[in-house]
Amino acid sequence: MTILSQIESKIVSLPDAVGLVSKWKADGQKVVFTNGCFDVLHYGHVCYLAEAKELGDKLVLGLNSDASVRRLKGETRPINGQKERGTLLAALSFIDTIVIFDEDTPEKLIKSIKPDFLVKGGDYTFETIVGADFVSSYGGTVRTIPLVENFSTTNILKRL
């Protein structure tokens, strides 16, 4: 197996992710879930994702599909396709698995995975985090992580 195929093997279907999470939880590991478009991967993303991983043992990332990004961000997005975005993210050693989803929100993923921690950036509040009520209902923890100032895809694209 090549290094690239090992990296790409971290991108799995939702049923496969549910199986992985079940195994991890049976082994007593804590599962962290976050999601996003991650259209132009930057320093702020890496800091955010690394800090999310520190909350538990395994990090599951829900990645918006190209169609989902287009609906959320407009016809000129994404800049990078889902295969490329997924592969770049999977290359980060602290991301354990990635699920690409086509819906506008990760609600289905969250309800299927039932993470111990649900994490979003500091620009969200508990009330605006999809799945926060659900995760709290079974004793899971919802956290926000402060954003790294001056790093956002929007600002990068404006500078270009």
pLDDT tens digit sequence for 31-70:
999 999 999 899 999 999 999 999 999 999 999 999 999 9
Residue 59 structural domain = 3-159
Q: What is the CATH number of the domain that holds 30?
A: 3.40.50.620
Query: Which pLDDT does position 137 carry in this prediction?
Result: 98
CA distances from 29 to 24, 84, 96, 97, 136 (A): 5, 29, 12, 14, 18
- Count the domains in the chain: 1
Let me know: does 21 contact 111? Beta carbons within 8 Å. Answer: no
37-48, pLDDT tens digit by residue? 999 899 999 999
